Amino acid sequence: MFEFSLSAQSGRARTGLFLTPHGPVQTPLFMPVGTLGSVKGISPQEIREIGSQIILGNTYHLLLRPGPERVRRLGGLHGFAAYDGPWLTDSGGFQVMSLGHMRRISEEGVVFQSHLNGDLIELSPEKSLGVQEALGADIIMAFDECPPYPADRSYMQDSIERTLRWLERCLRAKTRPDQALFAIAQGGVDLGLRQTSTQATAQFDTPGFAIGGLAVGEPKEGMYPAIELSTRILPEAKPRYLMGVGHPEDLVASVALGVDMFDCVYPTRTGRFGYALVDEGRLNLKLTRHLDDPRPIDPECDCYACRHFSRAYLSHLVRAEEMLASRMLSLHNLRYLHRLMEGARTAIASNCYGEFAKGFAQKRFGNEIPGWFKKALEDGSHWA
């Protein structure tokens, strides 16, 4: 039911095909985030039209509303949200960090104070798996703790050991064969702890593995050695998912190191703030210089916004706070990342990913390419 096969490699960058009950997905890929079962402002039809392959939903938020049993009765996420392609649900582990001021951790699990009404919400490995089984996603995530950055080393040690024990409980609690459970390795930017966690996690031989605990405020110079180490340890024959990463330069650098899957709220949140993603960085459409610009956001882009609207019109919508602005910029930003991953897959298939990544960096950074990006490409140019 779940099968991952590699189709091409260029250095450590690779393309693959992951089969799920609701269709195949090609990697490397970016997954739009639909925290509450909806990618903000974008319809399922539009999600498909821009080339999305998987939508991500969130266990903690969907537990609070509308509730997992209601979603189950109404056809799971595929039927309830009218998107019958593959879904992935996060376990709620990220909220263990992001809601740190509203939760209490024990060996049993986590007790949250609901951000909606203050009610106490219990989430354990078994509860997380039960919610995810009710939601019905194709890929589900083991319940873990995502430690903050920075964190004390002894705290990190205790956290990764507890996350491994929680993984064992998740595997025992899982009942649905039509869902692939991905395990999550932690360790922050401490390479010793990262190695310990990743090696131990890989022993569980789950259908896929996630690299967690990064992109939480640490410097790039710490993040990339952790990614490089993780992809060297994780099995070649399983998909590798770098959680919570969505900046274009991070996708390009991480693909070079052998990462297959990404997710982040960055493209849609950035769109709601009036920014459009382009090769050179972010286009701030709030600026007055765009008010008379007849050009599209990106003449190379085939999204609806770029095919129909000028920067002048979109700038007007942003300044007037029209909801169409958020929709169109979110749509464009998602399409930008999908086009980036499509280009990456084409380059890998032609065994020229290094040239692709360097071309991207030249547009992005000019003559001041960061050292961490250069190092990632160097590490990615050699076989693991």
CA pair distance 295, 121, nearest whole angstrom: 50
Last residue of a domain, one of 245, 264, 283: 264
Asked whether residue 283 falls in the same domain as residue 226, the answer is no
Residue 207 lies in a domain: yes
Peptide bond into 66 cis (omega under 30): yes
Asked whether residue 197 falls in the same domain as residue 275, the answer is no
Taking CA atoms, 86 is separated from 5, 12, 61, 66, in Å, by 17, 26, 19, 20
CA pair distance 89, 231, nearest whole angstrom: 22
Q: According to the model, what pLDDT value does residue 101 have?
A: 79
Tokens of 310: 């000028």
Asked whether residue 129 falls in the same domain as residue 217, the answer is yes
CATH number of domain containing 132: 3.20.20.105
How many separate domains does the chain show?
A: 2
Last residue of a domain, one of 211, 230, 264: 264
- List the helix and strand counts (H, then E) for the chain: 16, 16
Domain span including residue 72: 3-264
Peptide bond into 150 cis (omega under 30): yes
Q: Tens-of-pLDDT digits for all 384 residues of the chain? A: 899 999 999 999 999 999 999 999 999 999 999 999 999 999 999 999 999 999 999 999 999 999 999 999 999 999 999 999 999 999 988 887 777 778 899 999 999 888 899 889 899 999 999 999 999 999 999 999 999 999 999 999 999 999 999 999 999 999 999 999 999 999 999 999 999 999 999 999 999 999 999 999 999 999 999 999 999 999 999 999 999 999 999 999 999 999 999 999 999 999 999 999 999 999 999 999 999 999 999 999 999 999 999 999 999 999 999 999 999 999 999 999 999 999 999 999 999 999 999 999 999 999 999 999 999 999 999 753
Asked whether residue 143 falls in the same domain as residue 246, the answer is yes
Residue 372 lies in a domain: no
The stretches of the chain forming alpha helices (DSSP H) are: 44-49, 59-64, 68-73, 76-80, 93-98, 125-135, 153-173, 191-202, 220-233, 248-256, 266-272, 304-308, 311-319, 323-349, 353-365, 371-380
Residue 367 lies in a domain: no
Q: Which residues are catalytic?
A: 90, 263
Asked whether residue 168 falls in the same domain as residue 78, the answer is yes
Asked whether residue 285 falls in the same domain as residue 172, the answer is no
Residue 310 lies in a domain: yes
Residue 77 lies in a domain: yes
